[in-house]
């Protein structure tokens, strides 16, 4: 098998850890975001030529796919169920009318950052601080993670939208900016949110996202997608100590002689998805960035997980770690859709997000009702996660997002529950790496989740009923005027549940990885992706995951490889 004396094997993802890891320290004059005077990347530092990196990606490159580049609604909606999607489907959701959920995940270089909605936003500071205080992730808190996100970001203030430049990075690889979405928002939705007791935000990225704002998206000045494959990798593709192998599915980690009772990985095995041929590659450090379904899948295929799941499939236990694949969280959504009055259109690229906290969403009596429901943990919610959710509620961390989509003929203002209590799981059902894992999102298992989402659905209608909206709307499509009572809203929320496509948590801090991101019970296997995030933050996750990648790169670069093997 090919040998690399200091080899990083990484499954490519949003993070593309290999690139940040090796090249963040040198002058990479990558793609520039114009319209501002941000400094160049540091130019006086040298490359760590000791490291060689191999990235193994199951999908193809995607660079020739126009629907990845174009962030317009029709282009993004054309991506699911094509070759760039893993085509995952959940098991029937018992608490949500037995619906199955089609869970889009990027199967392409760049992972889900190639197929996502590109919203670039951060949560309340406490949501990240709890990683350290509730889950024991030493060194991972708002201060460090938000600084790491800034390293990834190249923000350009555009279209006269007010923002605080100090909340943003201005020299990182991922470009982000805003576009103004037109009068439906400036004269209709924003005044309606204010008239309903909401507030405006000047910038949602400083540790408190409350309020409505034209939230930035990860895009270049020409409005095409800026994501890990074209912003971290492409500018550095010529590096001689970097290799990307496409169209290969990692099937398992290979293990050597254990050291002090800990498993030591020596490389990985992978299957070429075109030829079906199996190969191996050796390495000193294995970095799993295979995402919330892929990372626990590879761990279980490699004997790291719950013996009760692995052993019946013929996989012997290497590390007994039952938390692998558990703690799967997802943000459930409901619908608010109204048809636009004739003469109005809501086309364009801008997403307009309104974040509400328990105290703006709920009346004092409702706050207490929800508080009571919050005390009852669903079966698979860990004590640490339960304590974290209570802390977020008491700190008035934002709990619902209303996401304004551009859609030519409709006003869509989608309510998303940000801090669900429900927890599902994702596990292998076959020792064959090409067979998809089976997963349960346990959507709306917790009565707290149902309660908050129902209040959000009611509030969305309240926005649309304000006088400011009258000129713009022709009529409500969803939930529809037949839905009026509390019970009808509850039934609607369960029958029309959707997801934000933000699953997290299946290789969480404190139960699968330690604060160095090392998989417990191993010396040299690390996880660097959304799986490590222990509980849903009050935002979209990609900015946080880029921050994790930057922070992990700094941390791993500072550790001599010899300390792991
Ligand atoms: C439709 C959609 C819309 C979204 N909208 C937003 C948004 O607007 N803003 C936001 O912040 N977030 C959004 N997200 C979420 C965000 O994109 C993800 O949370 C993030 O990209 C996850 O990053 P990750 O590194 O954890 O995993 P991924 O990006 O999913 O990366 C996993 C990678 O590993 C590869 N892989 C998996 N298994 C194997 C294997 N066995 N062998 C080899 N390779 C493997 C995959 O092909 C993929 O490239 C959205 C997601 C989707 C799907
Ligand atoms: C993206 O596609 C839309 C049509 O859906 C088109 O109007 C727009 O010009 C495209 N944008 C870019 C940057 O190619
Ligand atoms: C997803 O489904 C599409 C359409 O059937 C198919 O072309 C594609 O190969 C599938 N993706 C994967 C990863 O199998
Ligand atoms: C969901 O399916 C289960 C098992 O088939 C069934 O018992 C239950 O009644 C169904 N629930 C709904 C709401 O359809
Ligand atoms: C920004 O403001 C300037 C000065 O008021 C104005 O000339 C310009 O047209 C505005 N640009 C946009 C995109 O609104
Ligand atoms: C948009 O800008 C990016 C970054 O500069 C560039 O790579 C891309 O080719 C451009 N796309 C179009 C359609 O102009
Ligand atoms: C809860 O966890 C158990 C194992 O700990 C698992 O068997 C079960 O499927 C989980 N429930 C859900 C909804 O994921
Ligand atoms: C794994 O599953 C695939 C698809 O079902 C099949 O083609 C392949 O032969 C299987 N591999 C093994 C080793 O059984």
Mean pLDDT of the chain: 90
- Quick: pLDDT tens for 430-475: 999 999 999 999 999 999 999 999 999 999 999 999 999 999 999 9
Q: How far is CA 151 from CA 37, 111, 550, in A?
A: 16, 20, 7
pLDDT class of 379 with cuts at 50, 70, 90: very high
Q: What is the pLDDT of residue 556?
A: 83
Domains and CATH numbers, the chain: 18-42+116-233+328-422+440-501+530-558 (3.30.560.10)
Please report which confidence band the pLDDT of residue 28 belongs to, taking 50, 70 and 90 as the band edges. Answer: very low
pLDDT at 36 over 70: no
Name which residue sits closest to atom 11 of ligand 7, judged by CA.
Answer: 424
β 285-288/7-11 pair status = parallel
Residues labelled catalytic: 502, 540
Nearest CA to ligand 2 atom 4: 72
For residue 456, the model assigns a pLDDT of 98
SS3 labels along 11-65:
ECCCCCHHHHHHHCCCCCCCCCCCCCCCCCCCCCCCCCCCCEEEEECCCECCCCC
Q: Residue 1: its pLDDT value, please?
A: 37
Give the model confidence (pLDDT) of 164-185 as tens digits.
999 999 999 999 999 988 899 9
- Residue 48 is predicted with a pLDDT of 56
Would you say residue 533 has pLDDT above 50? yes
- The answer, yes or no, to whether any atom of ligand 1 lies below 6 A from the CB of 106, is yes
Instruction: Provide residues with CB under 6 Å of ligand 7.
Output: 326, 379-380, 424-425, 440, 442
| Cα–Cα dist 3/7, whole Å | 8
Q: How far apart are CA 398 and CA 457, in angstroms?
A: 16
- pLDDT by residue (tens digit) across 314-361? 999 999 999 999 999 999 999 999 999 999 999 889 899 999 999 999
Rounded Cα distance between 466 and 479, Å, is 17
pLDDT at 386 over 90: yes
Sign of CA dihedral 97, 99, 104, 107: positive
What is the per-residue pLDDT for 318? 98
Per the annotation, does 565 bind a ligand?
A: no
Is the Cβ–Cβ distance between 254 and 262 less than 8 Å?
no
Atom of ligand 5 nearest to the CA of 159: 13
Any residues with CB less than 8 A from the CB of 486 and at least 6 apart, and which?
A: 454
Residue 117 marked ligand-binding: yes
Write down the pLDDT at residue 482. 97
Distance in angstroms (rounded) separating the CA atoms of residues 533 and 530: 6
Distance, CA of 417 to CA of 425 (rounded, Å)? 19
Q: Is the backbone peptide bond immediately before 479 cis, with ω within 30 degrees of 0?
A: yes
149: left (phi over 0), alpha (psi -120 to 50) or beta: alpha
CA distance 545 to 527: 12
What is the C-alpha separation between 442 and 101, in angstroms, rounded? 11
Distance CA 434, CA 310 (A): 16
Q: H or E element: which one contains 128?
A: helix 125-133
**Ligand 8 touching residue 82 (CB < 6 A):** no
Per-residue pLDDT, 30: 34
pLDDT given for residue 222 in this prediction: 93
Q: What is the pLDDT of residue 29?
A: 29
Stated length of the chain: 565
What does R_g of the chain's alpha carbons equal in angstroms? 23
Can you give the pLDDT at residue 9? 36
Phi, psi for residue 220 in degrees, rounded to 5: -75, 170
Contact criterion met (CB below 8 Å) for 110 and 57: no
Task: Give the pLDDT of residue 276.
Answer: 97
265-270: average pLDDT: 96
Q: Is 119 annotated as a binding residue?
A: yes
Output the CA torsion 28→32→35→39 (10° steps): 0
């Amino acid at each position: 098998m090919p040998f690399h004396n200091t080899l990083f094997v990484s499954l490519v993802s949003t993070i593309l850890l290999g690139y940040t890891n090796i090249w963040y320290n040198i002058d990479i004059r990558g793609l520039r975001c114009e319209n501002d005077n941000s400094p160049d990347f540091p130019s006086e530092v040298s490359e760590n030529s000791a490291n060689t990196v191999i990235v193994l990606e199951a999908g193809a490159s995607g660079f020739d796919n126009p629907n990845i580049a174009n962030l317009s609604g029709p282009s993004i909606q054309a991506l699911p169920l094509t070759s760039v999607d893993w085509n995952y489907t959940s098991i029937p959701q018992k608490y949500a009318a037995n619906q199955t959920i089609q869970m889009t995940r990027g199967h392409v270089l760049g992972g889900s950052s190639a197929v996502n909605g590109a919203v670039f936003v951060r949560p309340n500071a406490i949501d990240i601080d709890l990683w350290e205080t509730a889950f024991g992730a030493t060194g991972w808190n708002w201060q460090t993670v938000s600084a790491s996100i800034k390293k990834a970001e190249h923000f350009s203030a555009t279209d006269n939208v007010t923002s605080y430049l100090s909340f943003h990075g201005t020299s990182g690889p991922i470009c982000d900016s805003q576009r103004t979405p037109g009068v439906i928002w400036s004269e209709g939705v924003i005044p309606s949110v204010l008239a309903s007791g909401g507030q405006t935000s000047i910038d949602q990225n400083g540790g408190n996202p409350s309020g409505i704002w034209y939230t930035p998206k990860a895009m270049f000045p020409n409005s095409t997608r800026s994501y890990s494959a074209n912003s971290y990798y492409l500018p550095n593709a010529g590096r001689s100590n970097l290799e990307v192998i496409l169209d290969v599915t990692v099937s398992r980690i290979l293990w050597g002689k254990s050291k002090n009772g800990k498993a030591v990985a020596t490389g990985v095995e992978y299957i070429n998805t075109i030829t079906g041929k199996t190969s191996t590659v050796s390495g000193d450090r294995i970095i799993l960035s295979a995402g919330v379904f892929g990372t626990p899948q590879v761990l279980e295929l490699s004997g790291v997980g719950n013996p009760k799941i692995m052993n019946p499939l013929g996989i012997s236990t290497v590390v007994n770690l039952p938390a692998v694949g558990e703690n799967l969280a997802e943000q459930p959504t409901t619908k608010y859709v109204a048809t636009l009055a004739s003469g109005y259109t809501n086309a364009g690229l801008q997403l307009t997000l309104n974040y509400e906290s328990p105290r703006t969403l709920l009346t004092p009596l409702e706050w207490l009702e929800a508080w009571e429901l919050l005390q009852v943990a669903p079966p698979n919610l860990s004590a640490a996660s339960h304590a974290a959710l209570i802390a977020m509620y008491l700190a008035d961390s934002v709990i619902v997002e209303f996401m304004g989509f551009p859609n030519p003929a409709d006003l869509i203002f989608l309510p998303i529950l940000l801090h669900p209590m429900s927890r599902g799981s994702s596990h292998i059902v076959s020792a064959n790496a090409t067979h998809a894992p089976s997963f349960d999102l346990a959507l709306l298992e917790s009565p707290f989740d149902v309660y908050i989402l129902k209040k959000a659905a009611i509030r969305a209608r309240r926005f649309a009923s304000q006088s400011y909206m009258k000129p713009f709307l022709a009529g409500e499509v969803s939930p529809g005027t037949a839905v009026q009572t509390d019970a009808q809203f509850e039934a609607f929320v369960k029958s029309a549940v959707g997801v934000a496509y933000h699953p997290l948590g299946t290789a969480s801090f404190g139960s699968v990885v330690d604060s160095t991101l090392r998989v417990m019970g191993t010396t040299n296997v690390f996880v660097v992706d959304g799986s490590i995030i222990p509980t849903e933050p009050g935002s979209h996750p990609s900015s946080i995951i880029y921050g994790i990648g930057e922070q992990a790169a700094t941390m791993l670069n500072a550790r001599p490889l010899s300390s792991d093997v």
